[in-house]
Structure 1
Amino acid sequence: MLLLRRFEERSGQLYGMKLIGGFCHLYIGQEAVAVGIQSTLKAGDKVITSYRDHGPMLATGSCPDAIMAELFGKFGGCSKGKGGSMHMFDLEKGFYGGHGIVGAQVPLGTGIAFAEKYKGTDNVCVTMFGDGAANQGQVYESFNMAKLWSLPVIYVIENNEYAMGTAVSRSCSTVDLYKRGESFGIEGQQVDGMDFFAVHSAMSKTVECVRNGSGPKLLEIKTYRYRGHSMSDPGTYRDKDEVNSYRNERDPIEIMKSKLMEMGLLDDIKVKEIEQEIKQIVEKATNFAKESPEPPMEELYTDIFKNNNINV
């Protein structure tokens, strides 16, 4: 969780230095969601998410060097510098992206789950999307098919309370988003996304059910992002007291640290060691990105779909 936090803080700094360009959506404040989810999965399981993807991808164990290089648009990036912040992939880790179109990953995640069932595996696909995407029509088409075919998919709504700059209460007729699957027969549950242990507990039970053939499930994980929607969003639509209350009273890393200390699994010395280790990892990733070469010109013509059967 600390790696996700420090990596994103550094990404924000580098964006301000114009070393990272394009769109950039930071995950600061939502770390317990991605790490809590990943802690319940096994090799072979799949994860797909939206454009706020650096955090979930780091949680899968993907290389920070390759992720940072991708942010820089460099050839050493996980998508060879072609995807940037919003379109990252690591199929070896079961991470199927980063998708820039709001809600587009939901039918894709449903399709991945269909493939797993078709192949007869016991793998599940965690399909993550935000509260804003929860209002997209393709989400409910996916729900219908997933239930109809009893697919091994777990839909996770990361409810960070704002769809870009619009509060959930202003954009959703029903703010209890975990109920959105009820008309399709999909059970839902609301989870405290600022507490790793709450996410881990809920996901563990859900993963077990879906892996054993229960069909799709829906989790609404209530979380909060500290920064604006993207780097171009100053977040002036939010009350500063609201943000500060989350930072000071509900920060997921501080909650995690406090609980681990109560259990006797962590102390101040170990915290400093972890901080130093993470600092070195992030610095190494930054240097790797800076030194990585630009994509060669011939890369403009690779990985491009062409249909020779179409006459123009």
Structure 2
Amino acid sequence: MYDKEFLKDAYRRMTTIRAYESKVEEIFLAGELPGFTHLYIGEEACGVGVCENLNDDDYIESTHRGHGHCIAKGADVKKMMAELYGKETGYCHGKGGSMHIADFSIGMLGANGVVGAGYNLAMGAALAAKLRGSKQIAVAFFGDGASNRGTFHESCNMASVWKLPVLYVCEMNQWASTTPYLTATSVKDISVRAVGYDMPGKSVNGNDFFAVYEAAKEAVEYVRSGKGPYLLELKTYRIKGHFVGDPELYRTKEEVNEHFTEDDPIQNFRKTVLEKGWLTEAEMDKMDEDAKNLVLEAVKEADAAPYPAPEELMANYYID
């Protein structure tokens, strides 16, 4: 049995991610946003299921597909939207854009446009936490494609050698950009790679919030206890293209629709809590509506906000 407020918080974060990403896709395709953006639609249970186990001062390191992680960790949706618009009121004063949102005050160390760059940043945060004896942990989110980068192996090895409090979370979305993961990955389950670094590894259904939450709870307790790193693989699916505007010539619409129809993480959550009688349909519908309204407010405020002044070109790149 789960606490009702916990369930409402989890659903609120998941539906806010969906509302945010859906609106971002719409306004990007309308030509209102600069740069590139990558959507988290269909993977909401992963980020929220993990982050619901974290403390406010725990760290996460994200990827180029980072909006969901930001919201799951508690980031301000309005500051996020302003950043996408390139406005002064954004998290990085409009200079980072979609792939570099960060909020150190909530432990969000940043999205990252470089595939596989987050592992060692998370490891560094974990090393600092261990040296301070603060009991904080660091989470490194990454995709299946990024698990083939050298930084993954370097970080896992050193984190294990030093017994660092790092939780590695692979969001196995089955597509490394335009490549089916099994054509370029030597193992079916990324979690088995944990054996090579003397750490636990586990794979669960990433589209089942409750499976993610329970697996992440076990992993977080292990890491926080000082035993060293842990590799958690969440089996999910990237519903949208690699980036907004991706023609997706490498897969069929039928494949995508089948996954989304049969295994949508938000619908899975709703089905479970309704069957258990934990939340009502009206309660969740209200949260859906609130999330959409919040995102609409964020768009309105971001659109009206000023761009950074020319004289601030070289400001705010470093933290004092």
Q: Where on the TM-score scale, by shorter chain, does this alignment land: which range?
A: over 0.9
Which residue in 2 is equivalent to 1:18? 31
Give RMSD over aligned pairs: 1.1
Greater shift, 83-92 or 259-268, is seen at 259-268
Choose from 231, 243, 264 the match for 1:230.
243
Residues 1:290 and 2:299 are matched in the alignment: no
Residues 1:126 and 2:142 are matched in the alignment: no
Choose from 181, 189, 214 the match for 2:227.
214
Structure 1 letter corresponding to 2:255: E
Residues 1:96 and 2:96 are matched in the alignment: no
Q: How many residues align?
A: 305
CA contact (8 A) 2:203 2:233 kept: yes
Structure 2 letter corresponding to 1:269: A
| 1:140-155 correspondence to structure 2 within 5 Å | 140-155=153-168
Q: Deviation digits for residues 223-274 of structure 1, max 9, x if unmatched?
A: 1111100013122211222211211110000000011111212223223212
SS at match of 2:21: helix
Residues 1:33 and 2:22 are matched in the alignment: no
Which residue in 2 is equivalent to 1:163? 176
Greater shift, 245-254 or 266-275, is seen at 266-275
SS at match of 1:154: strand
Which residue in 2 is equivalent to 1:257? 270
Greater shift, 212-221 or 237-246, is seen at 237-246
CA contact (8 A) 2:29 2:245 kept: no
- How many Å apart are 1:175 and its aligned residue? 2.1
Choose from 291, 300, 306 the match for 1:278.
291
Structure 1 letter corresponding to 2:189: D
Which residue in 2 is equivalent to 1:308? none
- How many Å apart are 1:78 and its aligned residue? 0.7
> Residues 304 and 42 of structure 1: is their aligned pair in 2 closer, same or farther, counting only changes over 3 Å?
closer
Cα distance in structure 1, aligned partners of 2:196 and 2:291? 45
Structure 2 letter corresponding to 1:217: Y
TM-score, normalised to structure 2's length?
A: 0.93
Cα distance in structure 1, aligned partners of 2:128 and 2:93? 26
Choose from 95, 107, 110 the match for 1:82.
95
SS at match of 2:221: helix
Identify unmatched segments of 5+ residues in structure 2.
1-13
Identify unmatched segments of 5+ residues in structure 1.
306-312
Which residue in 2 is equivalent to 1:266? 279
Which residue in 2 is equivalent to 1:70? 83
Cα distance in structure 2, aligned partners of 1:96 and 1:188? 24
- How many Å apart are 1:304 and its aligned residue? 4.5
- How many Å apart are 1:92 and its aligned residue? 0.8
Give the % identical residues: 40
Q: Deviation digits for residues 66-94 of structure 1, max 9, x if unmatched?
A: 00000111111011101100000011111
Which residue in 2 is equivalent to 1:201? 214
Q: Deviation digits for residues 170-227 of structure 1, max 9, x if unmatched?
A: 1112121111121111221001100000000000011011111110000111111111
> Residues 69 and 121 of structure 1: is their aligned pair in 2 closer, same or farther, counting only changes over 3 Å?
same
Q: Deviation digits for residues 43-81 of structure 1, max 9, x if unmatched?
A: 211111111011110111111100000011111101110
> Residues 40 and 304 of structure 1: is their aligned pair in 2 closer, same or farther, counting only changes over 3 Å?
closer
Residues 1:177 and 2:190 are matched in the alignment: yes
Cα distance in structure 1, aligned partners of 2:74 and 2:200? 30
> Residues 214 and 40 of structure 1: is their aligned pair in 2 closer, same or farther, counting only changes over 3 Å?
same
CA contact (8 A) 2:53 2:213 kept: yes
Cα distance in structure 2, aligned partners of 1:32 and 1:46? 18
Structure 1 letter corresponding to 2:302: A
Which residue in 2 is equivalent to 1:45? 58
Cα distance in structure 1, aligned partners of 2:43 and 2:243? 14
| 1:234-245 correspondence to structure 2 within 5 Å | 234-245=247-258
> Residues 161 and 38 of structure 1: is their aligned pair in 2 closer, same or farther, counting only changes over 3 Å?
same
